[in-house]
Chains A and B, each alone.
Chain A
Amino acid sequence: MERISSSADMIMLNSSEPQGSFHVETKNLDGETNLKQKLVAKDLVEPFSTDKAFDSVRGVLNIEHPNNRIYKFDGNFNQSKVNGGVIPLSNDNVALRGMSLRNTEHVTGIVAYTGHDSKIQMNSADSVYKVSNISKQTNKQIMLVFMIQIICSMIGSAVGSTWMVANVDEASYLSFNKDDAWNTNWFLLFIQKTGTWILIFTNFVPISLIVTLEIVKYWQGSFMSMDVNMYD
């Protein structure tokens, strides 16, 4: 069976089938796989029964502004300036981008909405940077581990600074410069040593875990896309 899809949202003028009816499948729009019957507006079937009529299509289409409602459509085809009537148009008379034609040789329509104005595009959200639940959880855990790391660093640093202030005179073998406030002031020592301890405890958050997680996720994802049972 031939699958041909519509390239833009169109208002139908002609169908190869009797009474201007035709069938479409809307799987790409709403996921439904049944065939839906659509028709060319009743008053347009006769005027556009031959290709010659397309030579001079005149009139004004009054239709809704681009929107994302795929089941509703209102408008009319006003041919009053060219000796015609005003023909009402409904959702049955339009074929949307993404619909595929079924059981019908061909249909012809006039393009009403193009590209990002078309209903399928108005419905699709912008592609976003995907964050999985597991990485949200990882982020929380990292925060927690980082807190613990800071607390540990501060304890280590407080003990170290206290020892340093008390013993800097006896520890001459460490050859500290006693005139430097960074070696004698408890508070300055504390700040400096906290930084050092954070670096010492860097591996509280293991970088290898993150890499492993990424690889496992990718691997399981590719198993999913390789799964034959996922396709119909």
Chain B
Amino acid sequence: MTEIVEQQNPNSQQQNIREIDLDPAALQTLNHSKSVRSNSVRTSKYRWYTFVPLNLFEQFTKKLANLYFLIIMFMQMITVISISNGQPAMAPPLIIVVLISMIKDAYEDYKRHQEDKGENEAFAQVYSALTSQFEPKQWRNITVGDIVRVGENQFFSRHDNAQLIGASR
């Protein structure tokens, strides 16, 4: 036994070990520390406030055609060389093309948001020391040290099961 204890604590390896003290107070401290992450996951790419700038940036850097037409549009606004009387004649088609791509990207990310939401808000059975039984708890609220039962359970409603099946796809 002492051998194993010694193996756990050489200085070189200490950083590679996650220590979880199951004492309730210690668990609370651990779960409020920066070393563990919440069980809520995000696979979506954009947040609502990063969508417009980030998506525009990507559309004009990853698709050369868009950048080309943007440059042409600005050139059209220089009066000495303009053949469209200084009007940005390229603007309407460019805006339409960019908008359509934007809507497509937004829809795809919306589906990812929905999937994340379904997973984060699904219910799991977590043991409660207060009531001495398993109680439903949303996935996003599960923390390190929780005792979780996976499987058929009388407390599972049909709805919860359906959500879990959806999330496990």
Contact = CB atoms under 8 A, between A and B. Distances in A.
Interface in A1-43: 2-8, 10, 13, 16, 28
Interface in B95-122: 97, 100-101, 104, 112, 122
B149 A107 contact: yes
Interface in A175-224: 182, 192-193, 195-196, 198-200, 202, 205, 207, 210-211, 214, 218
A76 B4 contact: yes
Given A4-B164, A16-B151, A124-B43, A111 B145 contact: yes
Contact of A182 (B38, B64, B80): B80
A218 B22 CA distance: 51
A51 interface: yes
Contact of A58 (B22, B94, B139): B22
A78 B8 CA distance: 10
Q: State the main secondary structure of chain A at its contact with B.
A: mixed
A107 B150 contact: yes
Contacts of A193: 81
B148 A7 contact: yes
B133 interface: yes
Interface in B33-49: 36-41, 43-45
Contact of A80 (B5, B41, B69, B84): B5
A202 B90 contact: yes
Contacts of B78: 195
A105 B150 CA distance: 9
Given A108-B147, A207-B65, A60 B142 contact: no
Interface residues of A, number: 76
A104 interface: yes
Interface string B138-166: 01001111111111110000000100110
Interface of chain B, main secondary structure: mixed
A106 B150 CA distance: 5
Contact of A207 (B5, B81, B93, B145): B93
B20 interface: yes
Given A10-B148, A86-B1, A100 B76 contact: no
B22 A57 contact: yes
Contacts of B81: 192-193, 195-196, 198-199
B26 to A, nearest CB: 9
Interface string B1-41: 10011001000000111111111000000000000111111
B20 A63 contact: yes
A222 B16 CA distance: 45
- The 9 A-B pairs at the shortest CB distance, nearest first, are namely A106-B151, A195-B81, A5-B168, A114-B39, A61-B20, A139-B64, A115-B39, A7-B124, A108-B149
9 contacts: A7-B122, A10-B148, A60-B21, A64-B17, A116-B37, A196-B83, A214-B97, A214-B100, A214-B101
